[in-house]
Each structure stands twice: as C-alpha cells, then as structure tokens.
Amino acid sequence: MTTTDNLGGSDVTTYADRKPLPYEIDADKEKDNRDAQWERVRARLRAEFGDAAFKTWLEPIAFLGVRGGDVRLGAPSRFLRDWVAPRYGDRIRAAWRLEDPDVLDVEIAVRERTEAKPATVAEAPVAAPAAPVKLKTTEFHGTDLTAQLDPRFTFENFVVGKPNEFAHAAAHRVAESATVPFNPLFIYGGVGLGKTHLMHAIAWHIAQRSPDRKVIYLSAEKFMHQFIRALRFKDTVSFKEQFRSVDVLMIDDVQFISGKDSTQEEFFHTFNALVDQGHQIVVTGDRSPSDLDGMEERMRSRLGWGLVAEVHATNYELRLSILHSKAEQLGRGTIPQKVLEFVAHRISSNIRELEGALNRLVAHADFSGGPITLETAQEVLHDLLRANNRRITIEEIQKKVAEYYNIRLNDIVSQRRARVVARPRQVAMYLAKQLTSRSLPEIGRKFGGRDHTTVMHAVKKIEQLRNSDATFAEDVELLRRVLES
Ligand code: ADP
Ligand code: MG
C-alpha cells in the first residue's frame, strides 16, 4: 500500500515477463473494463466490511485509473486518506488482485474536493502524532518489509479497561523490557478490539526508546506475499536472513497463514530461529493458538508457549472512556454526555465501529452545522444501531434452518447421517460461520460436539453447492436474510 505522501517501494516487484496490460492495447475498452472492475471491487469491499463502514469510509473513494500496474484512487480529504490507507489498503489491493492479478499496488491520492460531490467525512483534526520517530526500514528486493505504522496507535492513546488490561500490560512489558520477558507474546480476540493498536504501540515505544533495536511489523498476509515472491525469485535464503536479523518480529493476524503449507513451514523455521536466538516475537490472531484451525499442531503449540493474552469484548465502561478520549482528540469535548452514554450503550460490537459512530456524528454535525443531540445520534447512526441490536446466535440459526427444511431441531445436532438432515445441518453450520463470530471448534461443539474439520468441510461443501446450484443458493440466501432481518 502506498500513499502519495509516502511512496515506498511498490509492493510487488515487476517481473520482466509481465504480459502487456489491456490498456496498452485499447484505451476505450480498457476504460469500461476498468470501471466494471472497480464496481466489483467496491461490491466486494461492501460485502466484507458491511454497509456502515463502506458508506462512511470507502464510498467517497474514487477510482482514477491504472498505471504501470498501480491502481490509483482518490480520497476527498487527507483525513479520509489517512484513515483508509492503513485500515483498508491491504484489502482493497487484495480485492483488485482478484480482478486483475497484474495489479501490483494501490495508491491513494488526496483529491481536491469538488463542489458537486461533498465528501462524506469532513476533514477532522486528528490527534497530534507522537514525536516523529522513524522505524528502521528493512528492505527486501527494494520492498520495505515494515508496514506503515499508524501514528495514532500509541500506548498514550490506548484506553485501558477490564477487557484489555491484561493484554495491555503484557504488550507494555514487552515494549519496556530490554530482555525478552515471554516469547512469543500472543494477543488474540475479535475484530476491532485493539490488537493491531497494541502491536503498533509496541513498535512506536521501542523506536522511541531504543532506536537501535530492529523492529519488523507486518501482516501475516504480507509475510505470505513476500515469501511467495522470494520463492519466485529463488531467493528464500536472503528472505530468511532478513527476518532472522531482527530484534523484534511482529506478525499481525496470523490466522491468514493457516492452511498455506510452505508459508507455515517458513514461518515456523523463522520463528524457531528467532526464539532460539532470544529475539522477541509478538503475534496476533483472531482466536487462541489452540483454536487456530488449519494450522499445524506443532505451530499451534509453539505459538502458545509464551504468554497468551486475550482482548475481551468491550464493556460499557470501556466504551464510554474510549468515546470520551476520542471526542477529546477530535476537539469535541463538548459532545453531550447523554449522547456519549447512548452510543456506548448501543454500539457494543467493537471499538472500530464505536470510533466509526463517533466520526460519523462529528462529520454530520460539521455538515449540518447543528448540535449533536440524542435525536440526531439516533438518526445518523440508524443502521449501526440496528446491526448492533441483532446478535445472531447459533441456536437461532439451528431453529430457523430446521423450520425451513421441515426437520426436527434435534436432528440438527444429532449424529443422524441421512441426507435429509445432513444437508440442512451443513447449511446451519455454514450460516453459523458466516453470521456469527464463533470459531470453527466452537461451532462444532454446538452441533453435537463435532470436530472443527467437520464444520470446515460443511462450509466448503455449501460454498460449492451455492456456486453450482442456483436454487440451493437462493434457499441459503433467503435463510440468511430471514436471520439478519
Ligand atoms: P484489531 O486489530 O483488534 O482488529 P485495531 O487495533 O485495529 O483492532 O482497533 C480498531 C480501532 O479501535 C483502532 O482505530 C484502534 O485505535 C481503536 N482501539 C482499539 N482499542 C482501543 C483502546 N483500548 N483505546 C483506544 N482506541 C482503541
Ligand atoms: Mg488488526
């Protein structure tokens, strides 16, 4: 991911035998083609992040063109750009790659705002970044391996409460310590609960206090891309060297490595080498090491060797303190307490959404010029409030699916294997995976104590059927809508 302010090396090195991009042949056709691709990319992002986040952050982004394998996008404000690039950049790039494997990187520029189309989000004062500290960059084939760190993700800006105090203390300890207190530190929890924030905070802290220590922070996804590229260049040796010479290696969202055998293997070796040499490793994941499906047993157990800290779902107190702190940072200390309490009560999913809600309120107030009241909050946050109202449970899914297929609820969790019950059961497992945040092992347990591989198989099977059988796909879609309504 690059932004125009910070043109690091492109993310993937061009290789000589690249086939010519279509626009090098026919510019007009190319344009239509690209616009259609952009529409599909947008649809994917919308599905992935949900309507609310999409509307607030991604909809205002415009497609400007493709040049030399770089997709160029425009944001209506610097604020929006700085918000979108670190959070959504990797996913935007991944979505583009699905459209066109020749896309190497995505670049977001700040465009002048036009009169006709006001930006959705106003330029808002962002908390002053910590003293400018620079991380050492680590290059591999001209690519900066260190991902961009968000200047706002510091310990100073991290609000501590019961749900995250243990993870915070552990992260702080790692950042402060000249030696290795526990290895690895594994932080896990649901999306938007502060895992990445804590990792960046460790990196900033170390960069400030001990600038000589070499820190690498990168997503597991990027680690994978880099490794695959090293394989292509037949250059895995120097790839390994890069990682093995760091003092602190941080890998974010390790669940993305699951199932990719060669990458897992490499990660495992790098991991062991670093641990043996007494270097610190910090890893985050969306579930505990033992629940990482698709990860080799030895890797799972190794990940659990050090300290495992969970960031728990938020509680009301934490949400309210976070709102206070963010409102202050935005220079909006004047938002009525009643409104903050209302939002803290009602937006309980995660901190990212909480922040999104606050930003939306502030943006709305700026555009309308009116005060922020309970009524405006209810109106402006309408869709978020609705989504937060509905927590779909596995039990509900089982019930609805049983009703729909006209089988007994008991059959869904029973061991019966007849097709008439086995297929609906798979549908229910599939929906449980899609509509709840439960892990595969948890889902398996709720379905009569089945193994997580059974759930994984069900998910794959249903995906397959959805693609090959339109009627079946409609059934599933209908069930999804009923459950979500
Ligand atoms: P995760 O990596 O767990 O999905 P992030 O670290 O990206 O979540 O956090 C999502 C958003 O919420 C970020 O903008 C982050 O700054 C904010 N956030 C999370 N936890 C806290 C906290 N305790 N205090 C302040 N902001 C937080
Ligand atoms: Mg994260």
Residue 121 burial by CB count (10 A; 0-12/13-18/19+): exposed, middle or buried? buried
In this structure, what token pair is assigned to residue 430? 């599939």
**Neighbouring residues of 45: CB distance < 8 A, sequence distance ≥ 6:** 54, 58, 88, 91, 92, 95
Nearest CA to ligand 1 atom 25: 158
Average pLDDT, the chain: 82
DSSP 8-state code for residue 112? P
Strands 143-144 and 185-188: unpaired
The pLDDT tens digits for 416-433 are 999 999 999 999 999 999
Distance 412 CA to ligand 1 centre (A): 37
Distance 181 CA to ligand 1 centre (A): 24
In this structure, what token pair is assigned to residue 459? 């998910």
Provide the sign of the torsion angle of the four alpha carbons 325, 327, 330, 333, taken in this order.
Answer: negative
Question: What does the radius of gyration of the chain's CA atoms come to, in whole angstroms?
Answer: 23
Band the pLDDT of 452: cuts 50, 70, 90.
Answer: very high
Bridge partners of residue 308, in order along the sequence? 186
The pLDDT tens digits for 256-294 are 887 778 888 888 888 888 888 889 999 999 999 988 888
Taking the C-alpha atoms of residue 358 and residue 182, their distance in angstroms, rounded to an integer, is: 37
Taking the C-alpha atoms of residue 206 and residue 210, their distance in angstroms, rounded to an integer, is: 5
DSSP 8-state code for residue 305? S
Instruction: Using the atom order of ligand 1, give the atom closest to the CA of residue 189.
Output: 3
Nearest CA to ligand 1 atom 1: 192
In this structure, what token pair is assigned to residue 360? 């939306």
Residue 239 CB neighbour total at 10 angstroms: 21
Band the pLDDT of 205: cuts 50, 70, 90.
Answer: very high
What residues are in contact with ligand 1 under a 6 Å CB criterion?
153, 157-159, 164, 191-197, 322, 351-352, 355
Nearest CA to ligand 1 atom 18: 194
The pLDDT tens digits for 122-134 are 223 233 333 334 4
**Cα 146-270-134 angle, rounded to 5 deg:** 20
Nearest CA to ligand 1 atom 20: 194
**Neighbouring residues of 453: CB distance < 8 A, sequence distance ≥ 6:** 293
**Neighbouring residues of 251: CB distance < 8 A, sequence distance ≥ 6:** 218, 219, 220, 223, 257, 267, 281, 282, 283, 284
Instruction: Using the atom order of ligand 1, give the atom closest to the CA of residue 158.
Output: 24
Q: Are 124 and 79 in contact (CB under 8 A)?
A: yes
* Count, residues in the chain: 485
**Neighbouring residues of 365: CB distance < 8 A, sequence distance ≥ 6:** 371, 372, 376
- What was the pLDDT predicted at 14? 29
Q: If we measure between CA atoms, which residue out of 95, 41, 38, 101 comes closest to residue 65? A: 38
Nearest CA to ligand 1 atom 6: 194
Instruction: Using the atom order of ligand 1, give the atom closest to the CA of residue 191.
Output: 4
Nearest CA to ligand 1 atom 13: 352
Ligand at minimal distance from the CA of 191 is: 1
The pTM for the full model equals 0.60
Distance 469 CA to ligand 1 centre (A): 40
